[in-house]
Chain A
Amino acid sequence: MTAALAADVLLVEDDAQEAELALDALRRACGEARVAVARDGEEALDFVLGRGGPAAPAAPAAPAAVLRLILLDLKLPKVDGFDVLSALKSDAAAKVIPVVILTASKMDQDILRSYRLGANGYVVKPVDFEEFSEAVRAVSAFWLALNRGV
Chain B
Amino acid sequence: MGTQSGAGRVLIVGAGGEGGSELEAALKERGFDVVSAGSGAEALKLLDEDFAAVLLDASMPGMDGAQTAELAGRCERGRGTPIIFMTGECKAREFADGRGARCAYECVFKPHAPQMLSAKIAHAHVNDQCGRFFSLSLDMLGVIGFDDRPRELSASWESTLGCARKELLGMRLDDLLHPDDRAAARQRVAELRAAAGAPLTWENRILRRDGTCRRLLWRAAAFERDEVYYAAVRDVTESRDMEERVRGLNAELEKRVSARTAELEAANRELEAFAYSVSHDLRAPLRKIDGFSGILARRCGAGLDEESRRLIKVIGEGCSLMGRLIDDLLEFSRLGRKEMRSGDVDMTALARGVLEDLLKQAPGRRVDIRLLPLPSARGDAALLRQVLVNLLSNALKFTRGRPDAEVEIGAAAGGEAENVYFVKDNGAGFDMRHAGKLFGVFQRLHTSEEFEGTGIGLALASRIVKRHGGRIWAQGAPGAGATFSFALPRGGPP
Taking beta carbons and an 8 Å cutoff, which residues of A are in contact with B?
15, 17-18, 21, 24-25, 75, 104-107, 125-129
- Assembly CA distance A17 to B327 (angstroms): 22
- Assembly CA distance A105 to B295 (angstroms): 24
Residues of B within 8 A of A24 (CB): 291, 295
Extra 4 A-B pairs, beta carbons < 8 Å, given A21-B291, A126-B287? A15-B284, A21-B288, A104-B283, A105-B280
- Assembly CA distance A107 to B283 (angstroms): 14
- Which listed residue, A105, A106, A107, A129, touches B291 by the CB 8 Å rule? A129
B residues 284-307 touching A (CB-CB < 8 Å)? 284, 286-288, 290-292, 294-295
Residues of B within 8 A of A104 (CB): 279-281, 283-284, 287
Residues of B within 8 A of A15 (CB): 284
B287 touches A107 (CB 8 A): no
B276 within 8 A of A: yes
- Assembly CA distance A107 to B316 (angstroms): 25
- A15, A127, A128 interface centre (most CB from chain B within 10 Å): A127
Interface size on B, residues (CB 8 A): 20
Contact with A along B255-278 (1 / 0, CB 8 A): 000000000000000000000100
A106 touches B279 (CB 8 A): yes
Residues of B within 8 A of A25 (CB): 291
Nearest A residue to B292 by beta-carbon distance? A21
Q: In the complex, how many angstroms separate the beta carbon of A16 from the nearest chain B beta carbon?
A: 11
- Which listed residue, B279, B288, B290, B327, touches A105 by the CB 8 Å rule? B279
A127 touches B295 (CB 8 A): no
- Assembly CA distance A129 to B295 (angstroms): 11
- Which listed residue, A18, A21, A75, A127, touches B323 by the CB 8 Å rule? A127
B250 within 8 A of A: no
Residues of A within 8 A of B290 (CB): 127-128
B residues 308-338 touching A (CB-CB < 8 Å)? 316, 319-320, 323, 327, 330
Residues of A within 8 A of B276 (CB): 105, 107
- Assembly CA distance A128 to B323 (angstroms): 10
B279 touches A18 (CB 8 A): no
- Assembly CA distance A103 to B419 (angstroms): 42
- Assembly CA distance A127 to B292 (angstroms): 11
Residues of B within 8 A of A21 (CB): 287-288, 291-292, 295
Taking beta carbons and an 8 Å cutoff, which residues of B are in contact with A?
276, 279-281, 283-284, 286-288, 290-292, 294-295, 316, 319-320, 323, 327, 330
Nearest B residue to A103 by beta-carbon distance? B280
Can you spell out 26 A-B residue pairs with CB atoms less than 8 angstroms apart? A15-B284, A18-B284, A18-B288, A21-B287, A21-B288, A21-B291, A21-B295, A24-B291, A75-B280, A104-B280, A104-B283, A104-B287, A105-B276, A105-B279, A105-B280, A106-B279, A106-B330, A107-B276, A125-B284, A127-B283, A127-B287, A127-B290, A127-B323, A128-B294, A128-B316, A129-B294
Nearest B residue to A24 by beta-carbon distance? B295
Q: In the complex, how many angstroms separate the beta carbon of A108 from the nearest chain B beta carbon?
A: 10
Residues of A within 8 A of B287 (CB): 18, 21, 104, 125-127
- Assembly CA distance A116 to B319 (angstroms): 33
A17 touches B283 (CB 8 A): no
B284 touches A127 (CB 8 A): no
- Assembly CA distance A21 to B276 (angstroms): 22
Residues of A within 8 A of B295 (CB): 21, 24
Residues of A within 8 A of B294 (CB): 128-129
Q: In the complex, how many angstroms separate the beta carbon of A50 from the nearest chain B beta carbon?
A: 31
- Assembly CA distance A3 to B287 (angstroms): 29
Q: In the complex, how many angstroms separate the beta carbon of A20 from the nearest chain B beta carbon?
A: 8
- Assembly CA distance A106 to B283 (angstroms): 11
A125 touches B288 (CB 8 A): no
- Which listed residue, A17, A106, A129, touches B288 by the CB 8 Å rule? A17
A127 touches B286 (CB 8 A): yes
B319 touches A127 (CB 8 A): yes
Q: In the complex, how many angstroms separate the beta carbon of A104 from the nearest chain B beta carbon?
A: 4
Q: In the complex, how many angstroms separate the beta carbon of A129 from the nearest chain B beta carbon?
A: 7
- B281, B287, B290 interface centre (most CB from chain A within 10 Å): B287
Nearest B residue to A15 by beta-carbon distance? B284
- Assembly CA distance A18 to B284 (angstroms): 8
- Assembly CA distance A126 to B326 (angstroms): 13
A128 touches B320 (CB 8 A): yes
Residues of B within 8 A of A125 (CB): 283-284, 287
Q: In the complex, how many angstroms separate the beta carbon of B383 from the nearest chain A beta carbon?
A: 15
- Assembly CA distance A76 to B280 (angstroms): 13
Residues of A within 8 A of B320 (CB): 127-128
Residues of B within 8 A of A18 (CB): 284, 287-288
- Assembly CA distance A105 to B284 (angstroms): 11
Nearest A residue to B284 by beta-carbon distance? A104
- Assembly CA distance A6 to B295 (angstroms): 22
Q: In the complex, how many angstroms separate the beta carbon of A31 from the nearest chain B beta carbon?
A: 15
Nearest B residue to A128 by beta-carbon distance? B290
- Assembly CA distance A24 to B323 (angstroms): 20
- A15, A75, A104 interface centre (most CB from chain B within 10 Å): A104
Residues of B within 8 A of A128 (CB): 290, 294, 316, 320
